Structure 1
Amino acid sequence: MDFNFTEEQEMVRDGLSRLVREEYGAETRREVIAGDAGWRPEIWAQLAELGILGMPFSEEDGGFGGGAVDAMVVMEEFGKGLVVEPFVPTVVCAGGFFKHAGSAAQKDEHIGAIVSGERVYAFAYAEPQGRYDYADLQTTAKKDGEGYVLNGHKAVVIGAPWASHLVVTARTSGERRDRDGVSVLVVDKSADGVVTRDYSTVDGRRASEVYFENVSVPADALIGEEGGALPLIERVTDEAIAAQCAEACGAMKVANAMTLEYSKQRKQFGVPIGSFQVLQHRMVDMYTEYESSVSMTYLATLRLDADERARKLAVSAAKVRVGQAAHMVGQEAIQIHGGNGMTDEYAIGHYFKRLTIFDSEFGNVAHHMKRHIALSANR
């Protein structure tokens, strides 16, 4: 299997690496996430200008002919700088729905707006009672003439404070937790009846609680088949998981480098703490965890176009491995930095927070371990 990147992918990696180094220093990021906006629209515009937002889309859809590997390259570099701009909610999630199931008109309107950077989207799928079951929905979309009336509450919608549109999962028929009857709709966030409560997340991003109160949605807001969207949701979220695994790998790589450098500078008993054999062993273990995470992320990314079972097995295996590694690397980095690691002025604390939150998105280690076991048993 060829793990070499194309010349174009290497060029993208080099360009993004330079952008992140120049624009995402620890102090700059700290100021941005503490500000009122919480992100930089000018960076989003720059990503659009560089073609980053259009990389995963085919040329027929208005993109640049890339795919999941290209998104992986982008997300690894974003992870190195803890970039907060909403690439996964907008490009991977919303873009994934339009790419896989959107009508020609939806692709033209929405993918075009994503590629140009004109619009930001958020994926509103999680509900307070739902845990990681995408079919456990109390949000409903009931037929009203040709369109729908949307009611419900979506929790921790990442990127929603910046979004112009929301991609929403809702039940159009059936009972709670039924696999059938789940639909996906795109909703203008400025529509009457959409109420949001915005807040900062522990890892420096922004999210919203989103409430839909008799929101009228036109018929052409439906993405894909009415009532049959659960396999589509699972496919798109698997793609998001693979992308975020790449992000975690980037964050772990930097956390390891920061910890190694700190161990060379911090002295105890008159010598650098990095000379202590027990800490050397721990840092080797951190590096091993990172390397195994990279391998599993590559495998998951390459299996995204495989059959459903193979895709789910690879993605769940990656989420488990990377989730475990992110926890271990984050914890060890803080331990080796000591009390300094938990202060806001030390960048390692910000990496620790992002690596910790990674486990809770789109299913934690326990959830994906169960999914992998269930899939393995049903051969």
Structure 2
Amino acid sequence: MNFQHTEDRRMLADTLNRFISEQYGFQTRDRIAASAQGFSAELWHRFAELGIIGALFDEANGGFGGDGFDIAVVFECLGRGLVVEPFLDTLIVGQAIAKSGNEMQKALLGELIDGSRIVALAHGEPDSHYEPARVTTRAERHGNAWHLSGAKAVVQHGENASLFLVSARTAGADDEEEGVTLFLVPRDAAGVGVRGYRKIDGGRAAEVTFDNVSLDDGALLGLSGEGYATLEYAIARGVLALCAEAVGAMDVAKEHTLEYLRTRKQFGVPIGSFQALQHRMADLLLEIEQARSAVINAAAALGAARTVRERALSAAKYSIGRIGTLVAEECIQLHGGIGMTWELPLAHYAKRLVMIDHQLGDEDHHLERFVALGRESFR
């Protein structure tokens, strides 16, 4: 298999890396991440103008990419810059709409791609423990309307979203795949409550509640009770995106650590000349390359059959969780005390690597899922 990127993808990566380097330096990123909004609307529109959002969708839906490697290229670059703009939820919600939306709903994709509409995935719940089928938010049919009630946790950019993709249960037990239904819920609908807060790794998220929110059939995304397959399909793209983002962040953490080992002196010589530190750094470089290989495998499998795709994605997310934590710990330890300081970019990369492990399923969850999917494939 040829793992070389196409010329178009190399140009996309060069363009995005150059833009982030010139316009999204660490001081700028730190200011944006700590702001009341949690992202920059101006830079979000500039990303859109560069075609970065469009690269996440295929031509049939108004973009010019959408392949697993397109997603990986974009998010690896975003990881290098610790970009906090709402790329992840735009990808997940947009892919769900592209897969199961009607013509009116698919018309929203143009607004996502040009950056004029912010959307958010409202799926995780306080007690779901990463299980994608565990949905306790309820939607009940009353006459010609659906009445939606429940709570969603850690909704990325929830304060700024004008539209939520909400998972709700219309039938079945709380942990069954059958009976999960997807709704597109406007932020300003009566009964929607949003409480925002800062995230530890920068940017903002929110707790979102739905108190007897009335929705018509136009809010349904796909068929009632059959939303799980769409949700899994869209979240698969999000898992790949997070894994690629982590690889980008690892590369920068590695580069900063290598530079520190070359310049920091002790006993009159660079500490990088100490054999013990060389061995630790060599082991770390091998682990990062293993993580990169896992992401390549997941990107290649994104269009495969469900079990093959999901196993590759869980393998990658498990590897990223384990290696990301290792990179964060080792790079800080190799820096010494300065590695913990807020002013040093490395500390922020370490935080982001640790938090990526907790998005869309952590290391333990995906190890269990990988094993369970393997059992399914042998039945």
Whether these two folds match at TM > 0.5 is yes
The aligned counterpart of 1:179 is 177
Aligned mates of 1:371, 1:321 — CA distance in 2: 13
The aligned counterpart of 1:136 is 134
Aligned mates of 2:145, 2:20 — CA distance in 1: 43
The aligned counterpart of 1:308 is 306
The aligned counterpart of 1:88 is 88
Aligned mates of 2:150, 2:36 — CA distance in 1: 28
TM-score by length of 2: 0.97
The aligned counterpart of 1:330 is 328
1:334 offset after TM fit, Å? 0.7
1:195-235 deviation per Cα after TM superposition (whole angstroms, max 9, x unaligned): 11101111102100001111112211111121011122112
Aligned mates of 2:51, 2:143 — CA distance in 1: 40
Aligned mates of 1:218, 1:339 — CA distance in 2: 57
1:6 offset after TM fit, Å? 1.3
CA contact under 8 A between 2:38 and 2:157: conserved in structure 1?
no
The aligned counterpart of 1:211 is 209
1:143 offset after TM fit, Å? 1.3
1:253-309 deviation per Cα after TM superposition (whole angstroms, max 9, x unaligned): 000000000111222222221111111111111111111111110110111111111
SS in 2 for 1:4: coil
Deviates further, 325-334 or 46-55: 46-55
Aligned mates of 1:240, 1:168 — CA distance in 2: 16
Aligned mates of 1:35, 1:88 — CA distance in 2: 19
- Does residue 56 (structure 1) correspond to residue 53 (structure 2)? The answer is no
Aligned mates of 2:244, 2:323 — CA distance in 1: 12
The aligned counterpart of 2:362 is 364
- Does residue 201 (structure 1) correspond to residue 199 (structure 2)? The answer is yes
1:239 offset after TM fit, Å? 1.3
1:53 offset after TM fit, Å? 1.1
Q: Which amino acid aligns with 1:94?
A: V
The aligned counterpart of 1:36 is 36
Match runs of 1:271-286 below 5 Å: 271-286=269-284
CA contact under 8 A between 2:32 and 2:203: conserved in structure 1?
no
TM-score by length of 1: 0.97
CA contact under 8 A between 2:271 and 2:277: conserved in structure 1?
yes
1:100-132 deviation per Cα after TM superposition (whole angstroms, max 9, x unaligned): 111122111x11110111101110111111111
The aligned counterpart of 1:99 is 98
Q: Which amino acid aligns with 1:93?
A: I
Q: Which amino acid aligns with 2:39?
A: W
Aligned mates of 1:99, 1:190 — CA distance in 2: 23
> Closer, same or farther in 2 for the Cα pair 1:191/1:344, shift >3 Å?
same
Aligned mates of 1:209, 1:297 — CA distance in 2: 30
Q: Which amino acid aligns with 1:30?
A: D
Unpaired runs of 5+ in structure 1? Answer: none
1:59 offset after TM fit, Å? 2.2
The aligned counterpart of 1:19 is 19
Aligned mates of 2:145, 2:34 — CA distance in 1: 40
Relative contact order, higher structure (CA 8 A, sep 6+): 2
Aligned residues: 377
Aligned mates of 1:161, 1:266 — CA distance in 2: 43
Aligned mates of 1:22, 1:16 — CA distance in 2: 10
1:67 offset after TM fit, Å? 2.3
The aligned counterpart of 1:249 is 247
SS in 2 for 1:36: coil
- Does residue 150 (structure 1) correspond to residue 155 (structure 2)? The answer is no
The aligned counterpart of 1:343 is 341
CA contact under 8 A between 2:172 and 2:178: conserved in structure 1?
yes
- The alignment yields a C-alpha RMSD, in angstroms, of 1.2
SS in 2 for 1:155: strand
Aligned mates of 1:122, 1:285 — CA distance in 2: 38
